[in-house]
Amino acid sequence: MDNLNKYLKIARNVVIKPEESNIEDKIINRLTSVNENDKKMLDDNFLDYFKKSNSRLFLFTEKIRDNPGKVTALFIFILLFAGFFMLLLKSSSAGQGQD
């Protein structure tokens, strides 16, 4: 499995040579003829995605939803740290009381 993961990782940097070698020129040419009709391409699906990709709140909640384990671990760590800090405060104030 490790090997497969290694090959898949490399495969992320692979591109396919388009059949039409001048695909860039074709796209650039197409862009010169963009008109009002092309705005129909910006359909509901696109607008929905666009709105989400421009929302900090949405991206933040997505990150949390995609990493529930990490968020839980972080929450537990914060709780433990706070508990430890409280304990430290308590013991130091008890020490001062004895003095």
Partner 1 sequence: MEENQSQGKAKKIIDDVILVEKSKKGDKAAFEELVKLYSKYVYTNAFFILRDSHEAEDVSQEVFVKVYLSIKNFKGLSSFKTWIRKLTVNTCIDKLRVKSKTFDKKLSLESFEESYEYIFTNLNNNIEKNFFTRETVKEVLNIIMSLDESYRIPLILRDLQDYSYREIAGLIKKPIGTVKTNIHRARRLIKEKLKYEKSKK
Query: Which residues make up the interface to partner 1 (CB under 8 A)?
Result: 1, 4, 6-8, 10-20, 23-24, 26-28, 30-31, 34, 38-39, 41-42, 45-46, 49-50, 53-56, 59, 62, 65-66
Tokens of 80: 């433990």
Beta carbon of residue 27, minimum distance to partner 1 (angstroms, whole number):
5
**Cβ-based nearer residue to partner 1, 34 or 88:** 34
Distance CA 4, CA 67 (A): 24
